[in-house]
Amino acid sequence: MGDSFFGFNTGLPSMTDDELRMAQKERAAREDADVYDFASLRHELGDDDFDDGLGDQLEEAGDDLNDETFGDDTIGKDFDFAATTAQFTSKLPDDERMRHHKPNEIAQAHSPAQQHPQGSWQNEDLDRQHREANAIWSDFAQSQHQQHRQQPGYFQGTPPSSSMMQPPRGAMSLDEMEAELHRQRQQPAFSADQGLPGKKMMSLAEVEAAMLQRNHDLHHQQQLHFQQQQQSSAMPPMPMSPFGGFANVPPNNAMQQEQLRMAALQRQHQEFMEQMNKEREMRRIDDVRKSRYDNLMTQYDKDLVQRIQLHQLASGDPYADDFYYQVYSSLRMRASGTKPAEGGRGRDSRRDNSMMARMNQQVQRIVNDAKRRPKQTQVTLEGALGKITTLSTRNPRQVLQVSDKKPHDGSPTHIHASESTSTITPKVKSLGSMNDRRRLLNTVESLYSKILELEQMRRQGPARSRRDDDEEQERKLEEWNEQYSVKVQQLWDSLHIMEDNKEQTPLLVAVLTVNKGKKLIPRIIRPLTHDQNLSILSVILAHFSQLQVCRPVIYPGTQVASTEDAQRFVSYEDMDLFMNATAPALLSFITEAPMKVVIALTRLLMEKNDIRYVAQTKPGLAFLTMLLSRAEILKQGGGALHGYAPPSVEELSLWQDVYTALFQALQGRFASIFPAVYYLVPSNPSMDMNQLLLNIDDMYIWQFLAAIAVGASMEQQHVLVTEVRDRVMENIILAKSNRLPLDRATHRIDNTNLFLHSLGLDASQVSAPL
C-alpha cells in the first residue's frame, strides 16, 4: 500500500533491526538530517562484537562518599505532583473528577485498543515511549488506583467510550476504604453494596461511605446516560442530511419518500425527547448538588434568626403601631367575605397557616419578654454625664424639635398669617376670625379623637379571657358597655347641642363649614341614639340658611365676577362633598320618620329660614324633596314598613297646611330655583359661559318639581307648569337639536320627564318647533 493519510507506513509486517536502520537512514537522507544512532554506527564501522575496552577506562572509583554527599534518605515525595493531585481529586465531587480525568481515561482506553491493530514501527516507538513514561510515572505512584491518572493530556480523546471506566474506579476507592476499615476492625465483611442505613452493624464511616457510593453511582449513571444521549443526538443529524439529499433522486418512488419522511419525523421526535431528558437530567443533577448542604440549620436556629428580626417590629398592641394595616386588612376581609383564599388551596394555605402561627408564637414570646424587662428609652452610663436616648425605628432621632409652648392670643404675629390658602374663594380673615378658625379646627380634632376611641372600643370588644366563667364574662361585658356609653355621652356633650345659644351660630353649623367636619358628622351619627340624631337634624334645619353650603355656588371653571366678599359663596367641590358625605346620613333619617316628625321638620325649616333663599341651593332643594316625598309615601300608606300607623286626619290636615304655605312661599319664584350664574365669569376667558352652564346637572331641580307636583292640586299644578314652561321647552329643544352628545341629551330628556310624568304628561307629547 502507499502512504496512509498521515505518512505512516501502514504495512503490517514489522521490520528487522537491519531494515529498521535502513529505513532510518533513508529517512535521514530524505530529510537531510543527521541521525546518530550508535547501533547503526557500530554496524557501519563493523564493530558490533568488538569490545574496544573503552568502557574499562572509565573511572569507577571515588563513589565511597556518595552516601555522605547525597544522604541515605529515601527520595522525598515533595514534588510528587501526580500523587498529590490524585489525593485531592479523590475528594472532589464527581463531575469535576470527570473533567480532570476524562482525557486520561480516554487515553487509557484508547491505547490498549490501539496498540495491536497498528503495529508499525512508529507506533512501536511510541509504545516504547509509552512504556518508558509508564515506568517513570509509576515510580511516583503511591497506590494502585493512581495508575489510572497517568499520562496527563498525552492523547487527544475522541469517542467517549471511556465511560465504562468510571464505576470500577469509583468502586475501587471505596473498596479500598472498606478494606482498610475491615482490616482495622477485623469484622466479618459486610458488603458495602448492600442497602445501608438500616443495618446497625456498620460503623458510621461505612454508612457514609456507602451513601457516598450510592451518590457516585447515581452520578455515574446519570453521566453515562448523559453521554450516551450526547452520542445518539450527535448521530441523528448526520443521517438526516444524506437522506435529505437522496430524497430528490428517486422522485418516482413515493413509498420510499413516505418512509423517509416518517423516519425523519421519528428521529426529530427522538431528538426532542432526548433534549427534554437531557434538560431533566441536568436539573436533577443541579438539585442533588444543591441539596447536599441542606439541613445545616435546625428549626431552632431558624426560629432564633426570625426572632432577632422580629424583635424590632414586635409590640404588644398591634393596633397601636400597625393601625392602618390591621384595619385595612380587616375591612378587606369583611368586604371579600365569602371568598377568602383560606381553605381553598389545601397545601399552600396549610403551610401559610403554620407559618403564620409560628410567627405569632414568636411575637408573643418577644412581647412577653419585653414586658418582663421593660426597655428604657433613656440610659445613663456610669462615669458619663447626661443621658442617652436609645433610638429605634419607633423612636427615631428628630431633626427638628418644635417646642410646645402656645403663642399668646391676639399677638401681632398673627396678622401676617392671615391670608387663607383657598384659591377659589380668597378670604381675608381678621384677627379674631383666625383664632376662631383655629379653635374650630381644634374642636373638630377633639371630636375626631372621641370618635376614634369609640370605634376602637367597638372593634376590640370587651376584654375576654378563656379563664373566665360566664359570670365573669357578663361582668366584663357590662363594664365595657358602661365605658362605651360614658364615652358616647362625652361626645354628645361636646357637641353643645342642648345648650341654648340664641346669638351665636351653633357648633354644628361651624363644624359643617370645615370639610373634615362634613366627613365627621355621618360618623358621629352612628353611635348616637335616635333622639340625639333627631336633635342634630333639627339644629341643622333650623339654621339651614346659615350653612356654608347654602350659598350661591361657584361652578368648576368659573370664578366670581366682582371682588365681593367671597364669604357669600361656596365652591362646587365643598357643596358636592356635603351632598355626598353628610346629606345621605341625614336624609336616610327622614326616610324612616313618621308623619309627625316630617311635619315638624318642614315647619322648622320654613319658619326659621327664608325658604326662597334655601330653595335656590342644591342642599335646600334636596332636603325639601326628601320631606315632600316622605310625606306623600306616608299618605299612601308607606309608613307600615316601619310600623307606623297611617297618618291621622289631623296630621293630614296639618300636612296640607304646611304644603300650602310652602307652595305659596315659592309661588312666582319657581323659575328662580334653576341655577343662576349671573355672578360668575369663566376662569378661562376662551371658554363660553353657556358651555359651562350646559355642564351643570339639574336633575335635583326636576326631582323637586316632581315631588311638589305630586301633592299639588289642579290649580297649583297649573301654576307650576306655567312658571317652568320655558325651561321645559328649552330642555327639550336642546336635547333634540343634536348639540349635545347622545347620552347627555337623553339624560336631559329623562330629567324633564321626571317632572312631566308626575303631572301625567310626557316629553314626547310636547311638539317642539325644530
Partner 1 sequence: MLFYSFFKTLVDQRVTVELKNDLAVTGVLKSVDQYLNIKLDDITVIDQDRYPHMIAVKNCFIRGSVVRYVQLPSQAVDTALLQDAARREAQTPNPQQANVRVK
Residue 223's contacts (CB-CB under 8 Å, 6 or more residues apart) are 94, 95, 98, 163, 166
Cell of 660: 300650602
Closest to 20 measured CA to CA, from 34, 35, 33:
35
Closest to 638 measured CA to CA, from 625, 651, 628, 647:
647
Gap between the Cα atoms of 435 and 333, Å rounded: 43
Of 397, 408, 467, 502, the residue at the interface with partner 1 (CB under 8 A) is 397
List residues bridging with 571 in a β-sheet: 554
Closest to 216 measured CA to CA, from 277, 164, 171, 161:
171
Which residue's CB is nearer to partner 1, number 98 or number 310?
A: 310
Q: Is 61 helix (H, G, I), strand (E, B) or coil?
A: coil
Which residue's CB is nearer to partner 1, number 129 or number 460?
A: 460
Gap between the Cα atoms of 168 and 473, Å rounded: 77
Cβ 491 to partner 1, closest distance in Å? 15
Of 69, 158, 378, 767, the residue at the interface with partner 1 (CB under 8 A) is 378
Q: According to the binding rule CB under 8 A, does residue 399 interact with partner 1? A: yes
Which phi and psi (to 5°) does residue 558 adopt?
Answer: -125, 170
Of 144, 298, 393, 562, the residue at the interface with partner 1 (CB under 8 A) is 393
3-class secondary structure per residue, 593-653: CCHHHHHHHHHHHHHHCCHHHHHCCHHHHHHHHHHHHHHHHHHCCHHHHHCCCCCCHHHHH
Q: According to the binding rule CB under 8 A, does residue 530 interact with partner 1? A: no
Q: According to the binding rule CB under 8 A, does residue 176 interact with partner 1? A: no
Alpha-carbon separation of residue 684 from 115, 325, 530 (angstroms): 101, 43, 48
Which residue's CB is nearer to partner 1, number 103 or number 527?
A: 527
Q: According to the binding rule CB under 8 A, does residue 398 interact with partner 1? A: yes
**Interface pattern 693-732 for partner 1 (x via CB under 8 A):** ----------------------------------------
Gap between the Cα atoms of 99 and 149, Å rounded: 12
Q: According to the binding rule CB under 8 A, does residue 448 interact with partner 1? A: yes
Say which residue the cell 426597655 belongs to: 375
Cell of 554: 361657584
Cβ 516 to partner 1, closest distance in Å? 8
Cβ 707 to partner 1, closest distance in Å? 32
Q: According to the binding rule CB under 8 A, does residue 405 interact with partner 1? A: yes
Alpha-carbon separation of residue 255 from 192, 247, 252, 398 (angstroms): 57, 11, 9, 89
Which residue's CB is nearer to partner 1, number 100 or number 311?
A: 311
**Interface pattern 310-349 for partner 1 (x via CB under 8 A):** --xx------xxxxxxxxxx-x------------------
Q: According to the binding rule CB under 8 A, does residue 490 interact with partner 1? A: no
Q: According to the binding rule CB under 8 A, does residue 400 interact with partner 1? A: yes
**Interface pattern 274-313 for partner 1 (x via CB under 8 A):** --------------------------------------xx
Q: According to the binding rule CB under 8 A, does residue 413 interact with partner 1? A: no
Gap between the Cα atoms of 582 and 517, Å rounded: 9
Gap between the Cα atoms of 548 and 571, Å rounded: 10
Which residue's CB is nearer to partner 1, number 388 or number 645?
A: 388
Q: How many residues does the chain have?
A: 770
Of 295, 449, 501, 767, the residue at the interface with partner 1 (CB under 8 A) is 449
Closest to 256 measured CA to CA, from 246, 242, 266, 265:
246
Q: According to the binding rule CB under 8 A, does residue 389 interact with partner 1? A: yes
Q: Which stretch binds partner 1 (CB under 8 A): 7-15, 85-93, 295-303, 389-397?
A: 389-397
Greatest alpha-carbon span in the chain: 163
Q: According to the binding rule CB under 8 A, does residue 253 interact with partner 1? A: no
Q: Which stretch binds partner 1 (CB under 8 A): 391-399, 458-466, 492-500, 528-536?
A: 391-399
Q: According to the binding rule CB under 8 A, does residue 452 interact with partner 1? A: yes
Gap between the Cα atoms of 189 and 182, Å rounded: 7
Which residue's CB is nearer to partner 1, number 26 or number 348?
A: 348
Q: According to the binding rule CB under 8 A, does residue 376 interact with partner 1? A: no
Q: According to the binding rule CB under 8 A, does residue 442 interact with partner 1? A: no
Cβ 302 to partner 1, closest distance in Å? 18
Of 402, 417, 742, 770, the residue at the interface with partner 1 (CB under 8 A) is 402
Q: Which stretch binds partner 1 (CB under 8 A): 154-162, 400-408, 429-437, 460-468?
A: 400-408
Note the residues at the interface with partner 1 (CB under 8 A). Answer: 312-313, 320-329, 331, 377-378, 389, 393-403, 405, 445, 448-449, 452, 516, 519
